[in-house]
A and B are shown apart, each in its own frame.
Chain A
Amino acid sequence: MLLNYVVLTLLLCFSLGPLLILGFNSLKGNLEIGRNPLGPPRQVRWSNYPEAWIRGSFATTLSNSLIITSGTIVGVLLIAGLAAYALSRLEFRGTPVIMFYLLVAGSLPFQLFLVPLFFLWHRLGLVNTRIGLIIIYWAIFSPFATLLLRSYMMALPRELDDAARVDGANEWQVFSRVVLPASTPGFLTVGLVSGLSSWNEFLFSLTFLHDSSLKTVITSYYAFVDRFSVNWGLTAAGGVMMILPIIVIFLLLQRKFIEGFASGGLKA
């Protein structure tokens, strides 16, 4: 038993140690990092934070990311919720084909459709617009979300919606008044997973948003690290500002996080 704890603690240091060093470095001046790049700061320097906030234009990029992430969550929940209802409650011939597509969509390389998509978005004037990126996220996150919501809705007892149908409710009413409220936990999980995935997404936001006033916090940080590569105090402070909100949400909603992401591996 003791051996278990020794090995697990070593692995815990491996996981968290680098994050701790990032926290240390965010409080050091450049001179101190040169002398002491790994240990705790001897002289705490808070000014890295406001400086990184301004130089990294975090106010702009955070609000871009917030807009894009909320737009993604709302759209994915709507798109996947409607589709999951059809696939779990309405019997029709297309179900196997659509299920097959949803499973395949998760393992398609982005490079397969990226180039023609860029061309198409260019034509439609959607390159360098937030909505253009949001629509892409709707498409790439909705297959997994649909599968997850469908398995959630399949587990709900049918008596409730049968009773509503007997009372003369149409499909939209059964969906919005019976199945939707009963699936709230499933929607929360899906919202969390697609929200974090869009917040962290790199490849599409790098490709489709070039204007620095539109960049997300992720691609802007990528450029920021490049520009201030010698000033680790500044880049570390920027990094901490980016991961701290995620860590807080992660700790508050850890069960939902783990349930949602672990099922991504199992059910997709």
Chain B
Amino acid sequence: MKNCRFKLGVSRSNPLIPWLFLSPLLIVNILVILGPGVGSVYFALTKWSGLGAAEFIGLANFARMLEDPVYHKALTNNVKWTIIFLTVPIAMSLVAAYLLSAVKKGQLVFRLAFFLPYVLPSVVNAHIWQTLFHPFRGIGAQLRKAGYPFLDLKFFGDTNIVLYSIAFVDNWHWWGFLVVVFLAAMQGIDPSLYEAARIDGANRFAQFRYITIPGIRPTLVFMMLMTTIWSFLVFDYIYILTQGGPANASEVLGTYAYKLAFTRFEAGYAAAVGVTMSIITGMIVSLFLYLRRRGWEI
């Protein structure tokens, strides 16, 4: 009865009321994200310095991308970044969360410690590792002085390893977030499943493989999807540590688009790069939804 009266009440009320409640959200989002986002699609088709008039040039910016070695380098680095972040932090955090889920004493302390770097500002985290990876004073140099020169590397200066060094730093701040997410998911698994497995003689690895992983599967797949999306949008740690250098060795699409727009004043081309980033993100999400619709259990 009550429910019925409630519905009547709403239908009688002014249909503008929901829009009134939504208007602040819509106004700021149209102003900041949607409007400029649509604008980018237009500017991607122009030659534009960022200020002044934009000259329409059709698809020339996209044709230029096909020939642009820096764009290729950046895209390749985004793919490498995705592969790194789909494996290293996910493996680390799954192991840590699994070990942590079995621990009663001190669980909170470990959880807080792993999570802490995630809430700290990127500029400070990056600076800490700038000092730890310093070629003359960092960990590598100290080990060399002690007679173990295996880590004596120019972490942020060597074009062969710079991307991996930055990924290491980003991962240092990121993996603890995954621990907390996976631990919460693991705590939702019915404990009687583990008991039954133990009675059947399953060891801890078998329990992890056949109970834990299937038990947190929705969370795991969702985090892998988000990891893939975020890997194509990465900006902060790379820009702070190397600005994409040396010699574009750590360039990704995010840093490249930013520098094109704000230091090289090629805003039209930068917008085109931004549009391709959105297309890639959209394709990842569509692929995910397609596979799910095809009946993949993800």
Q: Please tell me which one of the listed residues B19, B32, B43, B120 contacts residue A136 in the complex, with CB atoms under 8 A apart.
A: B32
Q: Does the CB pair B181–A265 fall under 8 Å?
A: yes
Is B82 interfacial (CB 8 A cutoff)? Answer: no
User: B26-68 toward A: CB 8 Å interface, digit per residue (1/0)?
Assistant: 0011011101110110010000001100000000000000000
- Count how many chain B residues have C-beta atoms less than 8 Å from C-beta atoms of the other chain: 98
User: A225-244 toward B: CB 8 Å interface, digit per residue (1/0)?
Assistant: 10000001001100100110
CA–CA, A34 and B267, complex, Å? 44
Is A266 interfacial (CB 8 A cutoff)? Answer: yes
CA–CA, A98 and B43, complex, Å? 26
Supposing A8-B110, A139-B29, A162-B2 touch, asked if A225 and B123 sit within 8 A by C-beta, the answer is yes
Residues of A near B181 (CB, < 8 A) are 262, 265-266
**8 Å CB interface, A149-170 against B:** 158-159, 162, 165-166
Q: How many CB-defined contacts (below 8 Å) exist between A and B?
A: 280
- Count how many chain A residues have C-beta atoms less than 8 Å from C-beta atoms of the other chain: 93
CA–CA, A262 and B51, complex, Å? 41
Of B131-139, B159-167, B195-203, the stretch lying at the interface with chain A is B131-139
Residues of B near A118 (CB, < 8 A) are 50, 261-262
Q: Does the CB pair B119–A109 fall under 8 Å?
A: no
Q: Which residue of A lies closest to B240 (CB)?
A: A222
Q: Which residue of B lies closest to A81 (CB)?
A: B21
Q: Which residue of B lies closest to A232 (CB)?
A: B131
Is A46 interfacial (CB 8 A cutoff)? Answer: no
> Can you name 19 A-B pairs with beta carbons within 8 Å?
A15-B113, A90-B17, A101-B29, A109-B232, A112-B274, A115-B271, A116-B40, A139-B32, A142-B28, A159-B2, A162-B5, A200-B120, A232-B131, A236-B131, A246-B119, A246-B120, A261-B177, A261-B180, A265-B177
Residues of A within 8 A of B (CB): 1, 4-5, 7-8, 11-12, 14-16, 18-19, 21-22, 25, 33-34, 37-38, 78-80, 82-83, 85-87, 90-92, 94, 98, 101, 105, 107-120, 122, 135-136, 138-140, 142-143, 146, 158-159, 162, 165-166, 171, 175, 196, 199-200, 202-203, 207, 218-219, 221-222, 225, 232, 235-236, 239, 242-243, 246-247, 250-251, 254, 257-258, 261-262, 265-266, 268
List 6 A-B pairs, minimum CB-CB distance, nearest first. Answer: A139-B32, A116-B39, A86-B21, A116-B36, A111-B274, A113-B36
